[in-house]
Structure 1
Amino acid sequence: MLSIDNRSHIKLGILDQVYVSEGRSAAEALQEATRLAQETEKLGYSRYWVSEHHSMPALAFSSPEVLVAHLAAATSRIRVGSGGIMLPHYSAYKVAENFRLLEALHPGRIDLGLGRAPGGMPLATRALQQDKYVDVNKYPNQVLDLIGYLHEAMPAGHRFEKLLAVPSIPTAPEIWLLGSSGESARIAAQLGTSYAFAEFFGTPGGQEATKYYNEHFERNGLLEERPRSMIAVLAICAETEEEANRLSKSSDLLFLGIRTGMEMPYLPSVQTAIEYPYTDIDLLAIEQIRQRRLIGTPAQVKEQLLQMGQDYNVGEILINSPIHDPQARIRSYELIADAFGMHTTI
C-alpha cells in the first residue's frame, strides 16, 4: 500500500448541484454558488463543475451551459464545466456551438462533461424530447460527432462533414464521459475520452468501472494520449467529528427523501433534519447512505479521500458538499484544502 505522502499529489475539484437551502431562494443559491467558485479558486481547487437536472425544485438551475458561462466570467483561473450535459436530449452540433463559444470566451478553462442519463423524471424527458425520436444507443455516435465538431475534424463522408460549429478557434474544451456504471466506462475507453465515475450516487461497481476504463483505453488521435479518470464523492468536513456529523444531517434527510420517493423541495436545515420524525427503517436507510459519505475532521476526510483515490486508481476527485449553512460549506472546503497543503492565492 502507498504511503500518504506518495498519495497526496491527488488533485481536488468541486461538483456543485446548487441546492436551494431551506429559507432561501433559488437566486440566493446561485449567488452562493458564485461565491463558492470564487473562494475555491483562491484555495487552489482544480475544477468547478455543475450538473444537469430537470424539474427538481431543490435545485436552483437546469441549464449547466448558462451557469458555466456565468461562473467562468466570475473567476479567472479555475476550470469550469458541466457535470454534465445529458447529450441524448440535444443535438451534438448545438452542444458543440455552445461549448466552442465558452472556450473562445475562456480559453483553456472549459470542461465538457457528458452523460446519457435523463437527468430527471419521465415527464421532463418527454418535454425535452418533444417531437423528437431519441435512441440512447446512438449516444457513442453523438459523442464522436461532438468531438469532430469541436476539433473541426468530421470524418470524410460524414453527412455533416463540411459543417462548421462556430466560432472557429484553435483550442477545444476537455471532454469527459460521466457515468455510474460499467457501460459508461466501456464507452469512454472505446472512444478515448476522459472518464468520471459518480461515486456519490451510491451505485456499486465504481472500482471495477475505473479499472476497466484504465485497462481498455483506446487512444483517440484528437484527445488525450493516455487514460485519465476521476471520481465524484460527497464529503463534509469540520473542525470536529461531532460538528461534521451535525452538518451532515441536512444531506441525510435530503437523500432519504430521494430514496423513499418523498423528495424535499429544498436542502433542509440542520434543525429541520434533527426534528424530523424518523422511523427505524429511515434510520437504517440513513446508516446505509452514510457508508458512502466522507464525514469528519480534516485528517479523517483527507485519509478517506487518499484511500479512495488509491482504490479507484484515479488522479483527481471532485467533492460535492451539500451543507445548509453557506459559511460552513466554504469552511469545509477550506479545511480540506489546508489538510492537503493546497496553494492559496489572494
Structure 2
Amino acid sequence: MLKLGILDQSPVFPGYQAGDAIRHTVELAKQTERWGYSRFWVSEHHDTSRLAGSSPEVLLAALGAHTSRIRIGSAGVLLPHYSPFKVAENFRVLEALYPGRVDLGIGRAPGGMPIASQALRYGRPKERDELFGETLRDLAGFLSDRLEPGHRFEGVRAAPLVETAPDIWLLGSSGFSAERAAELGAAFSFAHFINGDGGHEAMRRYFADYRPGPLGRAPRANVCVMVICADTEEEAERIAVPLDLSILLREQGQFQRPFPTYEEAVAYPYTEWDRLRIQVNRNRMIVGDPKQAKARMLAFSEEYGVNELIVVTVTADPQARLRSYELLAEAFALRG
C-alpha cells in the first residue's frame, strides 16, 4: 500500500499575512493527521515574503503539541549553515517532547539568496561540499553519543540525554545527496518537485550502493512531488494555473513576487518560451481528479521504486489545498 506524507512550506496565500501562513500549517497538520497521512514535514526558507517557514525546529515543537500520532519532521534543516552540535540538541529536545515521532531531514541548499546565507553563517566561510559528509558524521555522533575516538569534541554530549533519536533523512534534488545517503546509511528523499530530471537514476544508485553506516542501518526512500487534486479534472487544471506562473517567475529570478491569483495568472503576457517552460515544469507535478491523481501517483511511485510519496500542494486558496489533500486521503483510503 502506498503511504502518503506531506511537505508544507507555509506558503503565504494571496490576501493573507505571514502569521496566517504559520497558523495554516498548524491546522493542516491537525487535519491531515485525522485523514491518515504518515508524516508531516516542514521546510526552511529565508528572506522571502512568499514562504513563512524559516525555522523548522520551532515550528515542529508547535506541530507536535497539536498532533498525537503523525510523524513530524524537517525538510529540511540546512546543515551547512549551522553547528551539527546545536542541530543535535534542537532535535533531542524535540525527541524528548515527542519520542518516536521525529524525522530530522537534512538539506544542503542555501534556502535563500546569497546575502541571506551570509547572514545565517554570520561571516563564517561557506562549507565545501567535500566537508558535508564529515559534518553529517559529527551530527550522527552527537545524536548517538558516539563520536569517533580522538575526535576534537570527544566527551561533549548533546543535551538533553534522551534514550531515543530522530530518524535522519538526507534530502536532495541531484545525485550528490543520494550518494552521501548511501555512503552513510541514511534514508533518502528525492525532491522531484524541485528537479523533474535525474531522480530515477539517483534513486537507483542509492539502493544499489547503500551500506549501513552512522546515519542508519537499512535503506529507506521516498519522493516528494507536487500534486493538485480537485473534484473534477477541469477544476484541478484551473487551480494549477497560478502554480504554473509562480514556478515560471521563480525561474526568472522573481523570488519576492507574491503568489499569483488565478486572475493574475490568466492575464499574464506569456511568451512562447514561457509556455514551453510551463509544459516542461508540468513534469514536476501531478494534476487531476481523484481517479487520475491516484493512478498517476501509483505509476510514479512504481517508476521510482518507492512505497511512499511526500505530497506538496501549493495553491492560491487555502481551501483548495485542504480539499486536495482530503480527496487524496479518500482516494487512497487512508486511515486516521
**Same-fold status (TM-score > 0.5):** yes
One-letter code of the match for 2:52?
A: A
In the other structure, the counterpart of 1:162 is 155
| Conserved? CA contact 2:45–2:52, under 8 Å | no
Write the deviation string for residues 59-100 of structure 1: whole angstroms up to 9, x where unpaired. 113111111111111111111111001101000000000000
Structure 1 residues 144-293: aligned runs within 5 Å:
144-220=137-213, 223-293=215-285
Write the deviation string for residues 260-302 of structure 1: whole angstroms up to 9, x where unpaired. 1223532222222222222222222212111321000111111
Deviation at 1:307, TM superposition (A): 1.1
In the other structure, the counterpart of 2:113 is 121
Structure 1 residues 38-187: aligned runs within 5 Å:
38-136=30-128, 137-187=130-180
Deviation at 1:132, TM superposition (A): 1.3
**In percent, how many aligned pairs have the same letter?**
48
One-letter code of the match for 1:313?
A: G
In the other structure, the counterpart of 1:325 is 317
RMSD of the alignment, in Å?
1.2
| In structure 2, C-alpha distance between the alignment counterparts of 1:279 and 1:265, rounded to whole Å | 19
Unaligned runs of 5+ in 1: 1-8
User: For this pair of structures, how many residues does the alignment match?
Assistant: 335
| In structure 2, C-alpha distance between the alignment counterparts of 1:86 and 1:264, rounded to whole Å | 20
| Conserved? CA contact 1:257–1:264, under 8 Å | no
| In structure 1, C-alpha distance between the alignment counterparts of 2:188 and 2:35, rounded to whole Å | 25
Task: Confirm whether residue 11 of structure 1 aligns to residue 12 of structure 2.
Answer: no
| In structure 2, C-alpha distance between the alignment counterparts of 1:67 and 1:235, rounded to whole Å | 23
Higher alpha-carbon deviation: 139-148 or 259-268:
259-268
In the other structure, the counterpart of 1:6 is none
SS at match of 2:90: helix
Among candidates 22, 27, 42, match of residue 19 of structure 2: 27
| In structure 2, C-alpha distance between the alignment counterparts of 1:41 and 1:217, rounded to whole Å | 31
Deviation at 1:223, TM superposition (A): 4.8
| Conserved? CA contact 2:173–2:192, under 8 Å | yes
Higher alpha-carbon deviation: 145-154 or 162-171:
145-154
SS at match of 1:336: helix
Deviation at 1:49, TM superposition (A): 0.6
| Conserved? CA contact 1:19–1:266, under 8 Å | no
| Conserved? CA contact 1:254–1:263, under 8 Å | no
Unaligned runs of 5+ in 2: none
